[in-house]
Structure 1
Amino acid sequence: MDALENHFDLIVIGSGPGGQKAAIGAAKLGKRVAVVERRDHVGGVSLHTGTIPSKTLREAALYLTGLQMRDVYGSSYRLKERITVQDLLARLQHVIGREVEVVRSQLARNQVETVLGAARFAGPHDIEVTDPEGDVVRRLSADKVVIAVGTHPARPANIAFDDVRVVDSDGILEMTEVPRTMVVVGAGVIGIEYASVFAALGTRVTVVEAREKILDFCDSEVVEALKFQLRDLSVTFRLGETVESVDTGSDGTVTTLASGKRVPADCVLYSAGRQGSTDGLDLAAAGLAADKRGRLQVDKQFRTAVEHIYAVGDVIGFPALAATSQEQGRLAAYHAFGEPVSSVLELQPIGIYTIPEISYCGDTEGQLTKAGIPYEVGIARYRELARGQIVGDSYGMLKLLVSTEDRKVLGVHVFGTGATEIIHIGQAIMTTGGTVDHLVDTVFNYPTLSEAYKVAALDATNKMRDVARFDL
């Protein structure tokens, strides 16, 4: 190939959600684009070991255990008595296979060239693509570059991972049997999601977390509701505890905590942080450097310290969500080529696929209190909704936080069935500057879970009316 064939307007390193949208966004602008990705990793971490696998396992667990319908059919209801790993992974492999084809098709349909191999910088504008043996198979150049390589699980040096008894969130997908007991180290999003999935499958789970709270960025009332439900599934929480060591043997593992507690289990899932996958990029050749966690710093336009190189997705840190990464990719591509663009990233919804789900948008009560912003709370409980009874959800809730000054919705917090779906109604209201009165005046389908918005809005406005009457 000559130099012209190997030169692109944009090269994207990584084909996960952020990389895909950056590549397609630039292609829609008429730019010549290439995506570099490892042969067995099209779709990125999100598709192969992250978002899609964990959510697919969650749905398989819910379906096979019949957990969500036990309020309807009784506590002994179960679709399949003995659930095997094969039951879980069969669905997973099907979904991954289909999604890989979707990603390939979308890139090809937009004339984005997919270059298979590992990428590394050979200069600020030059990329070398190597095969699994490290040999250079192609040399590329580009006017602009987007780094979207994602992250991988961090592995502390004092923990002896064997990928059988002691695993990370990648290794858990290679399990050969559903464990009877499990220790989950780390109560972040990934750790709590997997803890709830295995608890639903009947595994007795112990969660160890160095902080005193789990998911401390979420609404505290919602987190307490989640902890109650997980304890009901026999999850034990060891908060404010750190792991001293993990010892393995033929019968399982023993996790020793700094406090001296010893927790035996069939296996340990270590989920205490992630590391940016930048080690193999030779960033120095491009004039870049990652932080100690392998992550890149960017400005509001997602530019790195090198003006023509952008970075998006998990490799730039919080919130490290697939949905956010997609929008970051689109914005980076438009910024790179001077295309006017706007977004409402500051009102992004956060979805946590625990059992039950959590999702929120906007401020928490703690944030509003700290900022000195007066607000009222409106709550709707699923058990009061006909749809809640139909789907067997007696614990779900929706909380609205409403400004008492201009009646705008400041935050929406949902816990329970369909939380990650119905949150978008609240998001739409907030991004358009809507008020609680808009929800009161809107007719919702009946019976639906979305009707919770009207119930919560009425609750908030009734409280505000009572306060106003008192003031008179």
Structure 2
Amino acid sequence: MNQYDLLVVGSGPSGRRAAIQAAKLGKRVLVVEQGKRVGGVSVHTGTIPSKTLRETALNLTGWRERGFYGRAYRVKQEISADDLRRRLLITLDHEVEVLEHQFARNRVQHLRGKASFIDPQTLQIVKDDGETIRVSGTSILLAVGTKPFRPDYIPFDGKTVLDSDELLEIEDLPRSLAVIGAGVIGIEYATIFSALDTHVTVIDPKATMLDFIDKEIVEDFTYQLRDRNMKLHLGQKAEKVERTPHGKCSITLDSGRVIICEMVLFAAGRMGATDTLNLSAAGLEADSRGRLSVNPETFQTSVPNIYAAGDVVGFPSLASTSMEQGRIAARVAVGAIAKEPPKFFPYGIYAVPEISTCGLTEEEVKERGIPYECGIARFRETSRGHIMGLDSGLLKLIFSLKTRRLLGVHIVGEGATELVHIGQAVLNLKGTVEYFVENTFNYPTLAEAYKIAGLDAGNRMGELVAKG
């Protein structure tokens, strides 16, 4: 039986970061991946594919240039599913190649197969050729990620009614698409297909969407979606999904309304991929959504030598935070010191337009009773925005009136997921409004919006309030 210092089940962001971290500390590490290639959900069906699809759609449609040349402008007149898939495959090949090189360089062993517990220290691995082996680990990290939630009442067929994994394999782009679920994944794909000039309808039983995002940002985002004729049926539940005799889909809402479309994407939640792990043999139990509970500081489960990280432990379910969780878990598992990461991290939604946020929302500031002021900058107020042809985009900064410190940064618009890191740095370094007012930004850039928003807030706050 093979003995390792750390066994890692799954090679997504948290698994690969954990494995490499432990290997750098001189530990013997084995990564088990049941997929055809390393990388996990993030590389093959999640983060990388959806963002590649988004970038390809924006490039081929000429979306970013339509502010100058009109809504009818397109770089490629006839865009096919093959056009989208071609770039996707190139990107995925590169990601896998980089990851395999990282494993080789750091002497991380990895193999393909399905892992399940025999006891808290031992895994049984069934390889593709049917061979079964046993491996033992002083510590074990579960980084198995999630899979789409597929309720019984949805007639999935992989062609016209799909989950988010199957969407990447479509043969033709639909003229109309209904997305059930207004969460991050649903909204990202809905807006990407809208940019491809597909008629998109979004359905969700909740009356609001993206509730963890600042309300003013969501309102601006919603306006942009409605402005390009996306239909949002919020507060309405999809009770029945059927295929019609004419090859289309029919969705009956609890309001009585019927939606007819060519394709349905069901994106209402995901499940932790723990059902095949035989958790009971290790003394573990997942919740109703297949997720595992952990200590948020060490990512240790209720079984001392077993850790879990990434999407399988729930919110925030980001590739970026999963990497940090994996790194921390690996250090704790092998007995190294693990420092807690900075308090504030960015949340990115790769919709069209992008949304990114870091720190407190205005609603959270109100709930805490903190006296505050906001500064707003619109991208069209910057010279760079004019050069890019932007007529939308918003950056919002929230400051404490007492200490003048930045409390939150919230952005919707082109490049939001890149711009947010300036605000993230200021938040973690406890910077004040003066940083934005007195600092020099490259000109012309969208980053100049920080100065505009800082001046806006500074003017409202005045100079009479003592600095913290």
TM-score strictly above 0.5 = yes
Aligned twin of 2:278? 282
User: Structure 2 vs 1, CA of residues 232 and 102 (structure 1 numbering), >3 Å: closer, same or farther?
Assistant: same
What is the aligned partner in structure 2 of residue 131 from structure 1? 127
Q: Equivalent residues in 2 for 1:237-386 (5 A)?
A: 237-249=232-244, 250-299=246-295, 300-344=297-341, 346-386=343-383
Deviations 1:234-278 (A, max 9, x none): 210001111111001342100011111100000100000000000
State yes or no: 1:174 paired with 2:176: no
Secondary structure of the structure 1 residue equivalent to 2:299: coil
Gaps of 5+ in 1: none
Once the 2 structures are TM-superposed, how far is the Cα of residue 29 of structure 1 from its aligned partner? 0.9
User: Structure 1 residue 468: deviation in Å?
Assistant: 5.6
Match of 2:416 in 1: 419
Equivalent in the alignment of 2:181: 186
Letter in 1 for 2:203: V
What's the CA shift for 1:467?
A: 7.8
Distance across 1 between alignment mates of 2:465 and 2:405: 17
Write the distance in 2 (CA, Å) between the matches of 1:338 and 1:407: 41
- Cα deviations across residues 328-353 of structure 1 (Å, max 9, x unaligned)? 00011111123222233531100000
In structure 2, C-alpha distance between the alignment counterparts of 1:361 and 1:446, rounded to whole Å: 24
2:111 to 112, 115, 124: 115
Matched-pair contact (CA < 8 Å) for 2:6–2:334: no
1:117 deviation in Å?
Answer: 0.8
RMSD (Å), alpha carbons: 1.3
- Report whether the alignment pairs 1:400 with 2:394: no
Q: Which letter maps to 1:125?
A: Q
Measured in 1, the distance between the counterparts of 2:232 and 2:405 equals: 37
Tell me what 2:436 maps to.
Answer: 439
Deviation at 1:226, TM superposition (A): 1.2
* Structure 2 CA distance for aligned equivalents of residues 256 and 68 of structure 1: 35
**Partner residue of 1:13?**
9
- For 2:185, give the aligned amino acid: I
CA drift at 1:119: 0.9
Indicate if the aligned counterparts of 1:200 and 1:233 stay in contact, CA closer than 8 A. Answer: no
Q: Does residue 232 of structure 1 match 2:227?
A: yes
Alignment partner for residue 40 of structure 2, among 26, 40, 44? 44
Does structure 1 retain, via aligned residues, the 8 Å contact 2:148–2:163? yes
Give the deviation of 1:466 after TM superposition.
Answer: 7.5
**SS of the residue 2:338 aligns to:** coil
SS of the residue corresponding to residue 11 of structure 1 reads strand
Relative distance call for 1:210 and 1:467 in structure 2 (3 A) is: farther
For the residues of structure 1 that align with 2:191 and 2:272, how far apart are their CA atoms? 26
Q: What is the one-letter code of the residue matched to 1:206?
A: T
Describe the SS at the equivalent of 1:281. Answer: coil
Q: Secondary structure at the match of 2:65?
A: helix
Letter in 2 for 1:450: A
Report the CA distance shift for 1:271/1:150 in structure 2 as closer, same or farther (over 3 A). Answer: same
Is 1:150 the counterpart of 2:156? The answer is no
Work out whether residues 209 and 242 of structure 1, in 8 Å CA contact, stay in contact via their aligned partners in 2.
yes
Percent identity between matched residues is 51
State how far apart, in whole Å, the 2-side matches of 1:170 and 1:163 are.
9
The question of whether the paired residues in 2 share the 8 Å contact of 1:324 and 1:345 is answered with: no
Residue 108 of structure 1, CA deviation: 1.2
Moved beyond 6 Å, runs of 4+: none
The yes-or-no answer on 1:99 pairing with 2:88 is: no
Match of 1:30 in 2: 26
**Could you tell me which residue of structure 1 aligns to residue 445 of structure 2?**
448
Question: Residues 259 and 25 from structure 1, CA distance in 2 versus in 1: closer, same or farther, beyond 3 angstroms?
Answer: same
> Per-residue CA shift, 1:179-222, capped at 9, x if unaligned?
00111000000000000000000111110011010111101111
Contact 1:276–1:293 under 8 Å retained in 2: yes
Q: What is the distance in 2 between the residues matched to 1:392 and 1:132? A: 52
Return the alpha-carbon distance in structure 1 between the equivalents of residues 427 and 338 of structure 2: 20
Amino acid at match of 2:180: V
Question: Counterparts of 2:162 and 2:318 in 1: how far apart (Å)?
Answer: 22
Note if contact 1:344-1:431 (Cα within 8 Å) is conserved in structure 2. no
Partner of 1:201: 196
Q: For residue 350 of structure 1, what is the amino acid of its counterpart?
A: Y
Sort the Cα spacing of 1:156 and 1:12 in 2 relative to 1 into closer, same or farther, 3 A. same
**CA–CA distance in structure 2, aligned partners of residues 410 and 226 of structure 1:** 21
Which AA in structure 2 matches 1:123? D
Task: State the SS of the aligned residue for 1:394.
Answer: coil
CA distance in 2, matches of 1:248, 1:132: 36
3-state secondary structure, aligned to 1:463: helix
Q: Distance in 2 between matches of 1:232 and 1:214?
A: 17
**1:233 CA displacement:** 2.4
1:213 pairs with 181, 205, 208, which one?
A: 208
| Alpha-carbon distance in structure 2 between the residues aligned to 1:86 and 1:324 | 32
Structure 2 distance, partners of 1:178, 1:115, is 36
- 1:164 maps to 159
Given that 1:151 and 1:276 are in contact with CA atoms closer than 8 Å, whether structure 2 keeps it comes out as yes
Provide Cα deviations, 1:371-418, integer angstroms capped at 9, x if missing partner. 111110011110010111111222111110001000110000011111
* Contact 2:44/2:92, CA 8 A, preserved across alignment: yes
Matches of 1:345 and 1:408, distance apart in 2: 16
- Does the Cα contact within 8 Å between 1:151 and 1:274 map onto a contact in 2? yes
Q: When the two structures are aligned, how many residues end up with a matched partner? A: 464
Distance (whole Å) between structure 1 residues aligned to residue 206 and residue 57 of structure 2: 28
Within 1, Cα distance between the matches of 2:383 and 2:218? 25
Q: If the length of structure 1 is used for normalisation, what is the TM-score?
A: 0.96
Partner of 1:61: 57
- Give the C-alpha shift of residue 288 in structure 1: 0.7
1:435 is matched by which residue type in structure 2?
A: T
- Amino acid corresponding to residue 215 of structure 1 in structure 2: L
**Cα offset, 1:28, TM superposition:** 1.1
Gap regions ≥5 residues in structure 2: none
The CA distance in 1 between the partners of 2:132 and 2:103, in whole Å, is: 21
CA distance in 2: counterparts of 1:467 and 1:374, whole angstroms? 15
